[in-house]
Chains A and B, each alone.
Chain A
Amino acid sequence: MRKLNLSAVVWTLLMLGIVVGIGTLFFTGNMGYFLHPRTWGALGAAAVTLALLTLVSVRSWRSGHSRAISFSHLLFLLPLLCGLLVSPEMLSKQMIAQKGLSGIFHHGHDHSHGGGRHVILQPAGRIVVTDDQFLSMMEEFWERADALSGREVEIAGFVYSAPSLGKHNFVLARLVMTCCAADAEIAGMICRWPDRADLQDGDWVRIVGTLAKQQFYNLNQQEPQMMPYLEVKTLEKIEKPEQEYIYP
């Protein structure tokens, strides 16, 4: 019987670690903090394949050649260490700040027609924005701010303050994940709420406000621009929702 092939054993263990890590994310329900649900199927299939590869790799424990345990093996350890270190949470406000606010100001282009994603609104009464409709509602408020002016809107999200908007305003924001957490972008509405003293960035709130329009500084275009905003009437703090991200 040949000597135990150390590098093969390490490689098996590393793959096993990755499989267990992915499995844990699925079973604890934390996968949503990393990936859009649409991609979960592919990842599940990958995990099953990887489990198969792990099983097969056991065969080379006593055969094949041994590599030196090297820097490469350490590299494979990095994701496992990060997996142990990370706490499943939405991206923090520091990370959102690094990404910037451009996602909030990109509406209102002349190319938004023809997308076929318009929501149909009741002619009167309060507009309640749900997760499913969040993005198309934002679009709608930007497109038809004049027609919808004065309507009452109910919406939930987290508080994000941007210095360029002035201290009496904040962004009622959600993070939109297109594929994975690294591409998450902020979306939301500017809200006016002079009484901001006890509001912290990252607090989850539900507000009722009136839709109006006013000039704000548009960071994208580096100039002031008329933008829709919500004049907040009532604001209540809420627990963070089960599903923190918006998955378009």
Chain B
Amino acid sequence: MQYHVRSKPQGKLLGLLMLLLVLTVAILGPRVQAIHPWGAYVQGFALMFLSILLEALPFVLLGTFISAMIHLFLSESMVARLLPRNQFLGLLAASLMGFVFPVCECAIVPIMRGLIKKGVPVGMAVTFLLAVPIVNPVVLASTYYAFAGEWGPVILRALGGIIIAVFVGDLMGRLHAHGSPLKHERFYDQKADHHGHGHSHDHDCGCGHDHGHGHEHAHGKRPGLHQTLLGLLEHTSEELFDIGRYLIAGAALSALLQTLVPREFLLTVGGGKLSSIIVMMLLAYILSLCSEADAFIARTFVRQFTNGSVLAFLVFGPMIDLKNTLLLMGAFERRFVVRLIAATSGAVIVFALLVNAFGM
């Protein structure tokens, strides 16, 4: 293939650097902490960073695996047959998919990317992305438990999740009605045309690289179970590399901010109807909590903050946070991500203001 990226001399240098880094840290090890006055912060960062990663890893892996299955087994014609004709019903169905796929926000991005590649309309995919991490039995149950058996927050959270996801999905669907928002999609489309249909599935990973999958040779004849399984694993591994780096960057940023910025600094800023909402959304964004855990954190802010702002925290966090912004940036065009974040933020603010206005 003519567009190989060969490893360049600086690549080897970088490899050497990596080896040196590992050796240095392995030798110095935990002693670094004792030597440096910032040691406690390095330790705190490392603990939180690793724990966020370890918590997310199973779900990301599940997401990439499902995405690989979609990639290999779901054809565009099947998707076209399954999609509801009515657009509103389609969006509503997408917002309730969490009851079928109870996955959290780490797993959802690769799945959504896979679905768009197979021809699911952008609007439905966005609704799916935003709603599933909230409107699913696991998350709603943990919300119920966190708020000691009160139904109010649970119902408002689910309702907010559905309404905002449908609204933003509809809006994004209109804005991106033409052309795919996936990164490098056009590049791969051209390649696909060039190579003919049979090869196109080797090139639509949307990650800016050409992947030579080990299963190329299986084209032409029907692949056996063994080949299919290997292909599935190899594709999962490729996708893990693509998604994993953004997950790591997101987790690192979140842990860094939590290590360096005292939470009280944020919390003293806002008590007003609007300012409290914005502060709580910022907090949800930075903390990048798993949607199973966030209700337990949210309840500690009840009374101190307006009810609308606590709900904003519960609704906004699973939809958009620092960790999944980076995941989205890896998969989609920047313009799409910026619009998605802006539209979601706006919708959540309006929702939270309404909650505050009606004093719920």
Cβ of B298 to closest chain A Cβ, rounded Å: 10
B289 within 8 A of A: yes
Q: Which of B6, B236, B259 is in CB contact (< 8 Å) with A53?
A: B236
Pick the most buried of A77, A113, A179: most chain B CB atoms within 10 A of its CB: A179
Give Cα A45 to B60, complex, Å. Answer: 12
Q: Which of B15, B300, B302 is in CB contact (< 8 Å) with A103?
A: B300
CB within 8 Å: A-B pair count: 249
A201 within 8 A of B: no
Give Cα A73 to B54, complex, Å. Answer: 18
Give Cα A87 to B43, complex, Å. Answer: 7
Given contacts A70-B14, A75-B245, contact A178 B7 (CB under 8 A): no
Q: Which of A56, A79, A82, A100 is in CB contact (< 8 Å) with B233?
A: A56
B: interface residue count bin: 35 or more
B311 within 8 A of A: no
Which residue of chain A has its CB nearest to the CB of B8?
A68
The majority secondary structure among interface residues of chain B is helix
**Could you tell me if B25 and A85 are in contact, using CB atoms closer than 8 angstroms?**
yes
For chain A, residues 207 to 238, give those with C-beta under 8 angstroms from any C-beta of chain B. 219-222
A: interface residue count bin: 35 or more
Segment at the interface with B among A58-66, A122-130, A147-155: A58-66
**Could you tell me if A52 and B233 are in contact, using CB atoms closer than 8 angstroms?**
yes
A34 within 8 A of B: yes
**Could you tell me if B300 and A82 are in contact, using CB atoms closer than 8 angstroms?**
no
B61 within 8 A of A: yes
Cβ of A188 to closest chain B Cβ, rounded Å: 13
Give Cα A66 to B21, complex, Å. Answer: 23
**Could you tell me if B249 and A75 are in contact, using CB atoms closer than 8 angstroms?**
yes
For chain B, residues 231 to 248, give those with C-beta under 8 angstroms from any C-beta of chain A. 233-234, 236-237, 240-241, 244-245, 248
Contacts of A116 in B (CB 8 A): 149
Cβ of A97 to closest chain B Cβ, rounded Å: 7
Q: Which of B1, B55, B145, B301 is in CB contact (< 8 Å) with A39?
A: B55
Contacts of B255 in A (CB 8 A): 182
B82 within 8 A of A: no
Given contacts A83-B50, A100-B267, A102-B300, contact A72 B237 (CB under 8 A): no
Which residue of chain B has its CB nearest to the CB of A60?
B214
Pick the most buried of B55, B65, B230, B252: most chain A CB atoms within 10 A of its CB: B55
Q: Which of A56, A76, A221 is in CB contact (< 8 Å) with B304?
A: A221
Cβ of B62 to closest chain A Cβ, rounded Å: 8
Cβ of B114 to closest chain A Cβ, rounded Å: 18
User: Interface on B for A, CB 8 Å cutoff?
Assistant: 1, 4-8, 10-12, 14-15, 17-18, 21-22, 25-26, 29-30, 32-33, 40-55, 57-59, 61, 65, 145, 147-150, 209-214, 230, 233-234, 236-237, 240-241, 244-245, 248-249, 252, 254-255, 258-264, 267, 287, 289-290, 292-294, 296-297, 299-304
